[in-house]
Structure 1
């Protein structure tokens, strides 16, 4: 079954590129034609590249990796936060702080500071042992940290790969990932440089529907990888093998339980469908035998 259909890509406007005067010649091989001054992206190639990216993300997560979702432009902010949260992955949808990957040790200290501030009850002035003014300053610090680092609150190490919407806008993130040899999975619009991306998806990185669709596809790949990871951890692997996965989070268990309930609901129907023909076959065999005895 295809990860996404051609119709879905067309309806979401994934095929619309930039104006012909705003393009990167390296993207020529991904362009199908030009219409009314706009480049049209070859969706047949997009489908093929989507499958490759999907498989890479799924396998990365299945082997214990994590994917960071990055998209700070307005069209991407909601989709990035929603889909990353759905599968429990870190995300950046406000402002990329320089050094978020290359200087993660410092960023990690700020994350610890954020958790310290979150433990403070700002409503209980007496118990805090601080003045109202001091609490106000700390509250503002907490708000600022939540805005910039809230999406990576639970991140304890650099990700295994990054999903990026608009590599031109997020050029700092792309540069840091490449410096650390972290694979980059990204949407490539007609003004982007394909050489910067390891797993490219030619498509529209400006339309909300296009960004939402492609980000959902990557999140689906993460979800499938998590299910495969949990299967290895819960007994599908051979006895004595060491599970490569980390302990499952609560949201991961909920995801798996949903899959299991769906499978359990389908099983009785399938068994009934198998038993009915089997019963008919038994009756067909017994009937001639009974006739022979009467004769």
Structure 2
């Protein structure tokens, strides 16, 4: 299963427009095609290859049972990123990256638990029992917590990958992911530093249409990865059921062999007893019993 990337659609989205030449990062030189009117033009042939590689990585990450964290706090990217993450059933941070979101998740989880508890109190009507001032204070607390933590409310452990829109702007998230060895996929413009990015995608990381194109691509990768994960789970369940059925069928044969072994041991013991001095009468009785068993 592979994700399709269209250079034509990237051109239409303006993904090839970089920053002004005076604001560039020399480390991005390999991804620049040319410059025009003081603006760097990104080589979309390379971008297409990078995007396809990143999308297939995301697909396989989700297929393996892991979740992905979308991060983009730039104003023009927030809504697009949140919609993509929700559609893909993944985590997201779009307002403010709280320090320690990855590296000190225990503390972040405590804040998430507090948010959930306050929301339950509100929904149960407990705020109505408080004085107006206290109720408003609680409501503002929920609003602030949900704004910063709502997108990671269901996150129980570190994600399998982090997707960044503009790693220069999301440098703290990038450092935390690096520290935990979490693979990073990033949209980076000609002013960014591509170092320590596992899956860099050179593109216009400011234009809404450009960001939308790549978010749609990653959403598709997550959805296809989820389908593949479900197929693998069903296949494993079928194999497990088949093994159990085979074991169940083999049980009668195992019991038959065990009973045959017991008979053989009994015969051997009786024979040895005779050889050690059993009476003729005992031998004759034993012989008759053995003959009858054989006939039956």
TM-score by length of 2: 0.77
* Moved beyond 4 Å, runs of 4+: none
Higher helix fraction (1 or 2): 2
Q: CA deviation at 1:235?
A: 3.3
Shift of 1:186: 0.5
2:189–2:203 CA contact under 8 A, matched in 1: yes
C-alpha distance in 2 between matches for 1:133 and 1:202? 50
Larger radius of gyration: 2
- State how 1:94-113 maps to structure 2 within 5 Å: 94-113=95-114
- The aligned counterpart of 1:115 is 116
* Aligned residue in 1 for 2:212: 212
Aligned to 1:51: 52
How far, CA to CA, are the matches of 1:140 and 1:71 in structure 2? Answer: 24
Give the Cα separation in 1 of the matches to 2:18 and 2:129: 58
* Equivalent pair of 2:3/2:55 in contact (CA under 8 Å): no
Q: Within 2, Cα distance between the matches of 1:74 and 1:130?
A: 36
Aligned equivalents of 2:137 and 2:238: distance in 1? 55
In the TM superposition, residue 196 of structure 1 has moved relative to its aligned partner by 2.5
1:122 Cα deviation after fit: 6.3
**Unaligned ranges ≥5, structure 2:** 242-296
Please tell me whether the aligned partners of residues 92 and 151 of structure 2 are also in contact (alpha carbons under 8 angstroms).
Answer: yes
Question: Which residue of structure 1 lines up, in the alignment, with residue 192 of structure 2?
Answer: 192
* Structure 1 residues 204-256: Cα deviation after superposition (integer angstroms, max 9, x where no partner): 00100001111111111111100000111223775129xxxxxxxxxxxxxxx
Is 1:3 matched with 2:4? yes
User: Equivalent residue for 1:231?
Assistant: 231
1:203 has 2:203 as partner: yes
**Is the 8 Å Cα contact of residues 122 and 139 (structure 1) preserved in structure 2?**
no
Aligned partners of 1:138, 1:50: CA distance in 2, in Å?
A: 44
Aligned to 1:38: 39
The aligned residue for residue 170 of structure 2 is 170
Cα distance change on mapping 1:229 and 1:120 into 2, 3 Å = same
Q: How far apart in 1 are the matches of 2:93 and 2:33?
A: 32
| Residue of structure 2 equivalent to 1:182 | 182
TM-score by length of 1: 0.78
> Structure 1: which 5+ runs fail to align?
242-295
**Corresponding residue for 2:147?**
147
How far apart are 1:150 and its partner, in Å? 0.8
How far off is 1:75 after superposition?
1.5
Give secondary structure in 2 for the equivalent of 1:195: coil
Q: Alpha-carbon deviation of 1:50?
A: 0.9
Instruction: Map 1:237-252; keep pairs closer than 5 Å.
Output: 239-240=239-240
**By how many angstroms is 1:194 displaced?**
1.0
SS of residue matched to 1:75: coil
Q: Is the 8 A contact 1:120 1:128 kept in 2?
A: no
Q: Closer, same or farther in 2 for the Cα pair 1:236/1:57, shift >3 Å?
A: same
Question: How many pairs are equivalent?
Answer: 240
> SS at 1:227's partner residue?
helix
> How far, CA to CA, are the matches of 1:123 and 1:103 in structure 2?
31
For the residue of structure 2 that corresponds to 1:235, the secondary structure is helix
